[in-house]
Amino acid sequence: MTTPIRVAVTGPAGSIGYSLLFRIASGSMLGPDTPIILQLVEIPRAMQALEGVAMELDDGAFDLLAGIELYDNPNDGFKDANICMLVGGMPRGKGMVRADLVEANGPIFTGQGKAINDHAADDVRVMVVGNPCNTNALIAMHSAPDVPNERFTAMTRLDQNRGKALLAKKAGVSVSDISNLAIFGNHSNTMYPHFFDTKINGKLVPDVISDHKWLEEDFISTVQGRGKAIIEARGASSAASAASAAVDHVRSWFTETPKDDFVSMAVPSTGAYGIEEGLIFSYPVRCDGKGSYEIVENLELNDFAIEKLKVTEAQLKEEREIVKHLLK
Ligand code: NAI
C-alpha cells in the first residue's frame, strides 16, 4: 500500500470541518489512490465534540482513511504532517470590526507557524482558510523560518468559484465553460475578480457578456459581498462551499494546471504586478502537479484593474501593520 499522506486540519469540530473532513476522506482532495491519515487539531474545550466527529468519520467506512488522530495542541498535531489546512480560528463576534479579528486571530498563527516549523514533514504544504486568511498566512510564514515561504498559501478559491458560478449564470453556460478567472489580493471585500482575461468557451468575457456595466459593478461587488450575503440568508457563514473550495485549492496545488488556464491562490508576492514583495496576495498561478506553482505574470492589466489591485494591496498593508509585532 502507498504510504499515507498526513493531512493536519485545525478547527475540525467547526462548521467547515464538518464538511471538509468527509470530502478529504472520500478521496476528493488527493485522488482515489492516496491513503490519508487525518491529524485533527482542536482547542481543548472542543475535544469532546471532535470525538463525535471522529466517530462519524469511522462510520463513513472510508477505504482511503488509514488513520484518525485527535490532538488538542499544534505541536503534536502537526507532527510529520505533509499538508496543514489551517481552518480554525476565532469567529468575528458581535460588534467586532475586521481589525479586531486580525488582532484576535494573529497569535494563534504564530504558535501554529512555529509548530509547523518544528514538527511538520520536510515537504509540508500549508493552506490557511481561517480569516483573515491572507494575514494569518503571513504570520504563520514568518513564524516558520525553516519552511520555504512559497509553501504558505491562503484560500481565495471560494471567491474564484463564486465568480465562475456568477459568470456562468449570466452567460447561460455551464461553469466548466469558464476559465482563467483570476482573483487578486485579499480574501475580503476589497478582493478583485479580474474578468477581463476570463474566457467563456475560449472567448473573452467582455466579448461574450455585453453588459459591461454589470461586469464592472455588480459582478465585482457580488463576488466581494457574497460571504456577507450568505450570512444574511442562512444565519451562518459559508461552510460547505468553503470546505469544497479548500478541497479544490489543495487538489489544484497537486495537479498540473492546464497550460491555457490558471487557478487563484493567495501566495507570497514576488513583486509581480507591482505588489510589495512578501505580502500574501492572491494571484493567478499555475501548478506543476508536484506541489510547486508559479505566478502567472503576463496578464496585461488595464488602469481599472491596476486601481483595484492598489486598493486591496493597501488593505493588506494595513492588516500587516496591526500584526507587525507578530512578524519576525
Ligand atoms: P467555526 O466557528 O464553526 O469553527 C471554528 C473551529 O475552530 C472551532 O471548532 C474552534 O474550536 C476551532 N478553533 C479555534 N481556535 C483554534 C485553534 N487555536 N486551534 C485549533 N482549532 C481552533 O468556524 P467555521 O465556519 O468552520 O470557519 C472557520 C474559519 O474559516 C473562520 O475564520 C472563517 O472566517 C473562515 N472562512 C474562510 C473562508 C475563505 O474563503 N478563506 C470562507 C469561509 C470561512
| Distance of CA 21 from the midpoint of ligand 1 (Å) | 13
266 lines ligand 1 (CB under 6 A): no
| Residue of the CA atom closest to atom 14 of ligand 1 | 89
ipTM of this predicted complex? 0.99
Residue 212 falls in the annotated catalytic set:
no
Query: Would the annotation count 161 as a binding residue?
Result: no
Ligand 1 pocket, mutate which of 9, 16, 186 (most atoms under 8 A from CB): 16
Query: How does pLDDT run across 26-79, given as a tens digit for each residue?
Result: 999 999 999 999 999 999 999 999 999 999 999 999 999 999 999 999 999 999
pLDDT computed for residue 130 by the predictor: 96
3-state class (DSSP) for residue 41: strand
| Distance of CA 20 from the midpoint of ligand 1 (Å) | 12
CA pair distance 196, 216, nearest whole angstrom? 10
pLDDT computed for residue 1 by the predictor: 63
Query: Would the annotation count 134 as a binding residue?
Result: no
* Domains by residue range for the chain, with CATH: 5-154 (3.40.50.720), 157-322 (3.90.110.10)
42 lines ligand 1 (CB under 6 A): yes
Ligand 1 pocket, mutate which of 190, 237, 241, 319 (most atoms under 8 A from CB): 237
49 lines ligand 1 (CB under 6 A): no
238 lines ligand 1 (CB under 6 A): yes
The DSSP-derived string for 101-121 is: HHHHHHHHHHHHHHHHHHHS-
Query: How does pLDDT run across 89-115, given as a tens digit for each residue?
Result: 987 777 778 788 888 899 999 999 999
Count of positions (residues) in the chain:
328
pLDDT computed for residue 95 by the predictor: 76
41 lines ligand 1 (CB under 6 A): yes
Q: Does pTM top 0.95 for this prediction?
A: yes
User: Using CA of residue 115, residue 118, residue 119, residue 123, what is the dihedral sign?
Assistant: positive
77 lines ligand 1 (CB under 6 A): no
Q: Which residues of the chain have pLDDT under 70?
A: 1
248-252: long-range contacts (C-beta < 8 A, 24 or more apart)?
248/157, 248/161, 249/127, 249/153, 249/155, 249/157, 250/29, 250/30, 250/83, 250/85, 250/125, 250/127, 251/28, 251/29, 251/30, 251/31, 252/157, 252/287
| Distance of CA 159 from the midpoint of ligand 1 (Å) | 17
| Distance of CA 14 from the midpoint of ligand 1 (Å) | 6
CA pair distance 105, 85, nearest whole angstrom? 16
| Distance of CA 101 from the midpoint of ligand 1 (Å) | 12
DSSP H helices in the chain: 15-25, 47-59, 74-77, 98-119, 133-142, 157-171, 205-208, 212-213, 220-234, 240-253, 303-322
Structural element, H or E, at residue 10: strand 5-10
Q: Looking at ligand 1, which atom is closest to the CA of residue 239?
A: 25
